[in-house]
């Protein structure tokens, strides 16, 4: 007997229609409205660290520099090019972050349209994820822009794979080579990119038609789970060789597996909170989060029900989405689970920047689970359900959406530091050397060997150690800071360990 829904279903391989364009544009407009304010964000925390490293070290060392266990080769290249183009003007950096997020929303719409054959469902998923309040933690902090990049490369691969699957085709060798390059770019952009690259072969094996003409007996990109760890190790060794700094990264890796129970708990809580906040959207401000046990139990029941009513292809899509979500959150749980030993159990899962990739693939899984229901519903019900959900979402946004943190405190403290440095230089006689106290810089509370306080701010915002005919120095007595400074292009001649002049500018109060 023919499927009665077949006559109502838009084929997954059908060319884009005007309706597709309208719904895709709707998702982009909704996302742009929610996240347009991020172009007014200022630099924050590790943003300053990267700007200092760019200004103080050569390109080769900076490209190899990891941070917090993240392999950041491709992200560092983008940051370096952004600095070359935009200098220290944050508006352009965050405009690029917003633009790439919009690209990701468009790619997600295309992916869901191909996987489910439902443009309304694709629009729902694209808006749900594109406007998720949890994405602020990633989009409003340029230092974690690499996570946006990793999602982009993964979405390009998945979207193309879904298009091929809809036409019952297997990717050509040239295309697989492009996918491989994209996967490596994502793997070297952020920690979650490592996990996504390693699990991609399994996800693609489920998404691609195994009996298509020219199909291989093994998944495409099958060597990635071996190549990615080897690449990680090689680049870490290269950085240690170039910089001589290994202690922080070694300590982090040693702590990663110190508590398997904490890793499992973190994974469960991350997944549960990510799903809860995704579904509640802006309503989460007014509604309490249910316990993670309840969320996980209901999610397991929903997935089981969806799998029961799904076609084999829909079940494979659901499996691919779930394994990608598990990889995204698993990488964070593995790297950060041990921190539960020193923090409360719910602190790590509530860090917003940990959910950008995870919520994306939870959205993919949700839409895959809803696809069988859409097939059994009348066509008019699709638009009605989307309209009702949009009305509820718009209401929640207008009433409850919190203001995006633009890092105004960091902006003001930076401007204060720069004003005081300028004033101290102007106060000295013409041509005289200037020695400044290396005062604490609150927006970057890192040890001096990584970010030497106000001296690092000087390196970022002043192109040379000589300003208006004055040679500028900073008074610094901490041995670790002086030792690290000797390797820098600017800091090698920036510090003195004792005052060379009798009059020093007064130290600003430490708050």
Distance of CA 14 to the CA centre of its chain: 32
| Helix and strand totals (H; E) in the chain | 20, 4
Mean pLDDT over all residues of the chain?
87
Model pLDDT, residue 56 = 95
Distance of CA 339 to the CA centre of its chain: 20
Residue 26 has pLDDT above 70, yes or no: yes
Question: Which residue's entry shows tokens 């290994």?
Answer: 246
Average pLDDT over residues 13-35: 89
Look at residues 348, 202, 325 and name the one whose alpha carbon lies nearest to residue 262.
Answer: 348
Scanning 6-45, the segments in alpha helix (DSSP H) are: 18-35
3-state secondary structure of 96: helix
Q: How confident is the model at residue 257 (pLDDT cuts 50, 70, 90)?
A: low
Q: Which of 121-125, 212-216, 470-474 has the lowest mean pLDDT?
A: 212-216
471: which strand partners? 466
Model pLDDT, residue 3 = 40
* pLDDT > 70: percent of the chain: 89
Distance CA 405, CA 249 (A): 30
Model pLDDT, residue 252 = 52
3-state secondary structure of 291: coil
pTM for the structure as a whole:
0.91
- Under 8 Å CB-to-CB from 202, ≥6 apart: which residues? 219, 320, 323
Distance CA 488, CA 468 (A): 22
Model pLDDT, residue 376 = 78
Residues composing the chain: 511
Residue 464 has pLDDT above 70, yes or no: yes
Residue 510 has pLDDT above 70, yes or no: no
Distance CA 313, CA 77 (A): 39
State pLDDT tens for residues 151-210.
Answer: 999 999 999 999 999 999 999 999 999 999 999 999 999 989 999 999 999 999 999 998
Q: Token digits for 188?
A: 């070297």
Model pLDDT, residue 348 = 77
State pLDDT tens for residues 110-130.
Answer: 999 999 999 999 999 999 999
Q: Token digits for 197?
A: 């690259």
Q: How confident is the model at residue 8 (pLDDT cuts 50, 70, 90)?
A: very low
Rg over alpha carbons for the chain, rounded to the nearest Å, is 25
Residue 4 has pLDDT above 50, yes or no: no
Q: Token digits for 478?
A: 């901490």
Model pLDDT, residue 215 = 74
Average pLDDT over residues 354-358: 95
Model pLDDT, residue 254 = 53
Average pLDDT over residues 197-225: 90
Which range of 64-73, 156-165, 336-345 scores highest in mean pLDDT? It is: 156-165
Q: Which of 43-47, 279-283, 502-506 has the lowest mean pLDDT?
A: 502-506
């Amino acid at each position: 007997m023919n499927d009665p829904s077949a006559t109502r279903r838009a084929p997954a391989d059908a060319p884009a229609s005007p309706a597709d364009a309208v719904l895709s544009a709707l998702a982009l407009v909704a996302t742009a409205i929610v996240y347009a304010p991020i172009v007014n964000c200022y630099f924050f925390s590790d943003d300053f660290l990267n700007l200092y490293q760019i200004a103080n070290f050569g390109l080769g060392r900076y490209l190899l520099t990891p941070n917090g266990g993240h392999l950041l080769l491709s992200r560092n290249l983008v940051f370096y090019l952004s600095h070359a183009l935009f200098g220290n003007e944050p508006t352009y950096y965050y405009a690029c972050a917003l633009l790439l997020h919009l690209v990701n929303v468009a790619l997600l719409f295309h992916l869901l349209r191909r996987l489910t054959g439902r443009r309304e469902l694709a629009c729902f998923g694209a808006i749900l994820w594109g406007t998720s309040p949890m994405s602020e933690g990633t989009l409003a902090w340029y230092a974690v822009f690499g996570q946006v990049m990793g999602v982009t490369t993964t979405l390009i691969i998945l979207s193309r794979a879904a298009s091929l699957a809809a036409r019952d085709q297997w990717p050509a060798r040239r295309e697989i080579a492009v996918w491989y390059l994209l996967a490596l770019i994502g793997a070297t952009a952020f920690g979650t990119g490592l996990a996504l690259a390693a699990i991609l072969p399994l996800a693609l094996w489920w998404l691609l038609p195994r009996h298509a003409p020219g199909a291989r007996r093994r998944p495409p990109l099958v060597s990635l789970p071996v190549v990615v760890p080897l690449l990680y190790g090689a680049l870490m060794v290269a950085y240690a060789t170039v910089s001589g700094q290994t202690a922080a990264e070694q300590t982090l890796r040693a702590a990663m597996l110190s508590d398997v129970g904490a890793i499992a708990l973190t994974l469960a809580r991350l997944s549960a909170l990510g799903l809860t906040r995704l579904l509640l959207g802006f309503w989460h401000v007014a509604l309490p989060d249910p316990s993670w046990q309840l969320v996980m139990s209901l999610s397991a029941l929903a997935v089981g029900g969806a799998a029961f009513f799904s076609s084999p292809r829909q079940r494979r899509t659901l499996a691919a989405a779930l394994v990608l979500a598990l990889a995204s959150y698993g990488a964070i749980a593995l790297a950060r689970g041990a921190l539960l030993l020193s923090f409360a159990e719910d602190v790590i899962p509530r860090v917003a920047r940990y959910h950008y990739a995870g919520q994306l693939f939870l959205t993919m899984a949700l839409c895959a689970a809803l696809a069988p229901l859409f097939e059994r519903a009348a066509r008019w019900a699709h638009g009605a359900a989307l309209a009702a959900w949009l009305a509820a979402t718009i209401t929640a946004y207008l009433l409850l959406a919190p203001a995006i943190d633009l890092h105004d405190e960091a902006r003001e403290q930076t401007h204060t530091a720069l004003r005081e440095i300028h004033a101290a230089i102007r106060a000295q006689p013409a041509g005289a050397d200037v020695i400044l106290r290396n005062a604490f810089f609150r927006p970057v509370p890192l040890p001096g060997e990584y970010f030497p306080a106000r001296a690092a701010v000087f390196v970022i915002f002043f192109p040379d150690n000589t300003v208006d005919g004055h040679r500028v120095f900073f008074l610094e007595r901490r041995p670790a800071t002086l030792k690290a400074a000797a390797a820098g292009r600017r800091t090698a001649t920036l510090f003195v360990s004792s005052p060379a002049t009798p009059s020093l500018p007064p130290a600003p109060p430490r708050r």
